[in-house]
Amino acid sequence: MCRTSRTVSLAVCTTVAVLLTLVAARPAAAVAPTPPDGTYKGSIVGGGLARPVVGVAVTPSAEGYWEVASDGGIFAFGDARFFGSTGAIALNKPIVGMASTPSGNGYWLVASDGGIFAFGDARFFGSTGAIALNKPIVGMASTPSGNGYWLVASDGGIFAFGDATFRGSTGAINLNRPIVGMASTPSGGGYWLVASDGGIFAFGDATFRGSTGALSLNQPIVGMASNATGSGYWLVAADGGIFAFNATFYGAMGGRCLPDRVVGIATSKQGEGYRMAGRDGLVYAFPGGASYNFESQDERCRPVRWNPCAPVPYVINPAGGPANAVALANATVDRLARATGLSFRFDGTTDEPADPRREVVQPARYGARFAPLLIGWAVSGTIGGAAGLGGTYYIGTASAPVQAVTGFAFAARNLTAFGSDDLQTGVLLHELGHAIGLDHADDTLQVMNSVGDAGLPLTAYVDGDLAGLDRLGRGAGCITPIQFR
Ligand SMILES: [Zn+2]
């Protein structure tokens, strides 16, 4: 809902989301861990890259990944290590892809002219850098031994080096659509090529399991990955849509509001999930690590968020809360601060009622500024009988992006009767997630899920929560503050 504040000459919008159900006697279910390929290890959340991301590769452990930009800049996350880049070299042609060595202690970058740049324990086995190619190189794959690799051109021409064996190509076929990627089989005895219409060409011991070549796609296919056994594969489209053929579908970004298009997909040898990379450097990990939603996004799909370059002021009304209300709320805010990198400033306790219909500006109580974020314990009627309620108040103008200016996080007073600090913490973590800009997550293992089948209370943000909070936090960059008038 949006309303016009009497004291601020801007439209003020609120997002209010409800923690729907909470059963005090819920048994603590075992929380199934997210498979390693589905975990989020970080990404470039602030945009503004000098050169776009063009590829992604996962470490053998699946506990990390690299992103590579078209200038060969390398961004390493999780257990992925930096072994060098071409970021400082004037390249003849842009980098278009990368591959990890089997050990994860090195990687190759490939340029569109087939130039190969080897780092760490990656060895150079040859390139097409000195050959006049008919069509540009668009991707590469390494052999299981790491003693060779294939390069693929947009016409499906294959160039095999080291112990990589040529098993066939589409170089002599007149393709409907260009080849955009490749994946090798686990044995190294074959490979698939994928075209932008999702047409699949299988060679050697690679088996054709289906394609989207006959479908009318919303967005072109931009990459592919094989599952662990090589019995199937995933194709990813520029909108983050996933097409799984004889491979487990773990989720997709299709239909969600993305700030930039997806450029690639990668998985580990385990193949239990996959990560996609956006052109802007955002990483979407499935399952788990992409399980978040935002309260509101602008027309460019940027989430409503607080300015991370100023402390977020907050106050606590302990009325109706547990005896340790202030300490518990402060400790919960500390967890949010660690998860987001945002700094919070405790402005003390208040007698402002824990009611979502609060004024955005309250000069008598807080002075001439936006009211601070309010944490409190609400009587059941003001929050619709829910276990808690949280939300943001945000403002946007034509010249400034939408930004949160205040918010609230309330737990229900009747929770206090349950007497559990963990329960209070879990509810406040959830409601503070709303106050900082997260909506409900679909995955029931996330703090931000509306029901929480994981055995609430979850007392720590988990994978998808953290990925969403990352995009709302310090790494997302400063917002020019909307000045209070
Ligand atoms: Zn909620």
450 alpha carbon – ligand 1 mean position (Å): 5
Give yes or no: residues 265 and 331 share one domain.
no
134 alpha carbon – ligand 1 mean position (Å): 55
485 lies in a domain? no
| Residue 127 pLDDT > 60 | yes
384 alpha carbon – ligand 1 mean position (Å): 12
307 alpha carbon – ligand 1 mean position (Å): 22
pTM of the model as a whole: 0.91
386 alpha carbon – ligand 1 mean position (Å): 9
Tens digit of pLDDT for each residue in 9-50? 344 455 554 443 443 333 444 456 678 899 999 999 988 899
Query: Among the listed ranges 160-164, 305-309, 354-358, 440-444, which one has the minimum average pLDDT value?
Result: 440-444
Tens digit of pLDDT for each residue in 274-309? 999 999 999 999 999 999 999 988 888 989 999 999
439 alpha carbon – ligand 1 mean position (Å): 7
Report the pLDDT value the prediction gives residue 48, as an integer from 0 to 100. 84
15 alpha carbon – ligand 1 mean position (Å): 11
391 lies in a domain? yes
191 alpha carbon – ligand 1 mean position (Å): 45
Report the pLDDT value the prediction gives residue 25, as an integer from 0 to 100. 36
Q: Report residue 397's pLDDT band, with 50, 70 and 90 as the boundaries.
A: low
Give yes or no: residues 366 and 236 share one domain.
no
Average pLDDT over residues 199-210: 97
Q: How far is CA 371 from the centre of its chain?
A: 31
Give yes or no: residues 159 and 278 share one domain.
yes
298 alpha carbon – ligand 1 mean position (Å): 21
Token digits of residue 410: 């309330």
CA distances from 259 to 46, 69, 256, 278, 322 (A): 11, 17, 10, 9, 42
216 alpha carbon – ligand 1 mean position (Å): 37
| Residue 117 pLDDT > 90 | yes
Report the pLDDT value the prediction gives residue 369, as an integer from 0 to 100. 93
Tens digit of pLDDT for each residue in 407-458? 999 999 987 776 688 889 999 999 999 999 999 998 888 899 887 544 456 7
209 alpha carbon – ligand 1 mean position (Å): 41
14 alpha carbon – ligand 1 mean position (Å): 14
Report the pLDDT value the prediction gives residue 14, as an integer from 0 to 100. 57
19 alpha carbon – ligand 1 mean position (Å): 4
Give yes or no: residues 313 and 421 share one domain.
yes
Last residue of a domain, one of 287, 320, 350: 287
Q: Report residue 322's pLDDT band, with 50, 70 and 90 as the boundaries.
A: very high
What does the mean pLDDT of the chain come to? 90
300 alpha carbon – ligand 1 mean position (Å): 24
Q: How many domains does the chain have?
A: 2
294 lies in a domain? no
Give yes or no: residues 12 and 61 share one domain.
no
Give yes or no: residues 449 and 383 share one domain.
yes
235 alpha carbon – ligand 1 mean position (Å): 33
Among residues of the chain, what percentage have pLDDT more than 90? 74
336 alpha carbon – ligand 1 mean position (Å): 15
The values of phi and psi at residue 414, to 5°, are -75, -10
357 lies in a domain? yes
For residue 257, the domain's CATH number is: 2.130.10.10
Report the pLDDT value the prediction gives residue 10, as an integer from 0 to 100. 41
343 alpha carbon – ligand 1 mean position (Å): 23
123 alpha carbon – ligand 1 mean position (Å): 51
296 lies in a domain? no
434 alpha carbon – ligand 1 mean position (Å): 7
Question: What is the rounded CA–CA span in Å between residue 429 and residue 127?
Answer: 52
> Higher confidence at residue 335 or residue 9?
335
Question: What is the rounded CA–CA span in Å between residue 212 and residue 235?
Answer: 9
| Residue 267 pLDDT > 80 | yes
Last residue of a domain, one of 255, 287, 319: 287
424 alpha carbon – ligand 1 mean position (Å): 14
Strands 2-4, 11-19: pairing is: antiparallel
406 alpha carbon – ligand 1 mean position (Å): 17
434 lies in a domain? yes
Last residue of a domain, one of 287, 311, 334: 287
Report the pLDDT value the prediction gives residue 259, as an integer from 0 to 100. 94
SS3 of the chain:
CEEECCCCCCEEEEEEEEECCCCCCCCCCCCCCCCHHHCCCCCCCCCCCCCCEEEEEECCCCCEEEEEECCCCEEEEECCCCCCCCCCCCCCCCEEEEEECCCCCEEEEEECCCCEEEEECCCCCCCCCCCCCCCCEEEEEECCCCCEEEEEECCCCEEEEECCCCCCCCCCCCCCCCEEEEEECCCCCEEEEEECCCCEEEEECCCCCCCCCCCCCCCCEEEEEECCCCCCEEEEECCCCEEEECCCCCCCCCCCCCCCCEEEEECCCCCCCEEEEECCCCEEEECCCCCCEECCECCCCCECECCCCCCEEEEEECCCCCCCHHHHHHHHHHHHHHHHCCCEEEEEECCCCCCCCCCCECHHHHCCCECCEEEEEECHHHHCCCCEEEEEEEECCCCCCCEEEEEEEEEEHHHHHHCCHHHHHHHHHHHHHHHHCEECECCCCCCCECCCCCCCCCCCCCHHHHHHHHHHCHHHCCCCCCCCC
Whether the link from the prior residue into 457 is cis, omega within 30° of 0, is yes
Half-sphere exposure of 12 (CA within 13 A, CB side): 21
Give yes or no: residues 134 and 281 share one domain.
yes
Report yes or no: 388 and 428 within 8 Å, Cβ to Cβ. yes
361 alpha carbon – ligand 1 mean position (Å): 24
The values of phi and psi at residue 470, to 5°, are -60, -40
For residue 314, the domain's CATH number is: 3.40.390.10
484 lies in a domain? no
> Higher confidence at residue 422 or residue 99?
99
Give yes or no: residues 442 and 316 share one domain.
yes
Average pLDDT over residues 342-352: 98
Give every strand in the sheet of 274-278, ordered side by side.
262-266, 274-278, 283-286
Query: Among the listed ranges 13-27, 192-206, 233-247, 427-441, which one has the minimum average pLDDT value?
Result: 13-27
Tens digit of pLDDT for each residue in 399-420? 666 889 999 999 999 877 766 8
Report the pLDDT value the prediction gives residue 41, as an integer from 0 to 100. 96
Give yes or no: residues 263 and 134 share one domain.
yes
453 alpha carbon – ligand 1 mean position (Å): 14
481 lies in a domain? no
Give yes or no: residues 453 and 422 share one domain.
yes
472 alpha carbon – ligand 1 mean position (Å): 17
Average pLDDT over residues 127-154: 95
441 alpha carbon – ligand 1 mean position (Å): 9
Give yes or no: residues 41 and 27 share one domain.
no
Report the pLDDT value the prediction gives residue 2, as an integer from 0 to 100. 38
The residue type found at 327 is: A
402 alpha carbon – ligand 1 mean position (Å): 21
Residues 6+ apart with CB under 8 A from 192: 182, 183, 200, 201, 202, 203, 206, 224, 226, 233
Give yes or no: residues 163 and 189 share one domain.
yes
404 alpha carbon – ligand 1 mean position (Å): 17
> Higher confidence at residue 4 or residue 131?
131
Sign of CA dihedral 353, 359, 362, 364: negative
The residue segments making up the domain with residue 341 are 2-32+301-476
Which protein residues have a CB closer than 5 Å to ligand 1 (ion)?
A: 17, 19
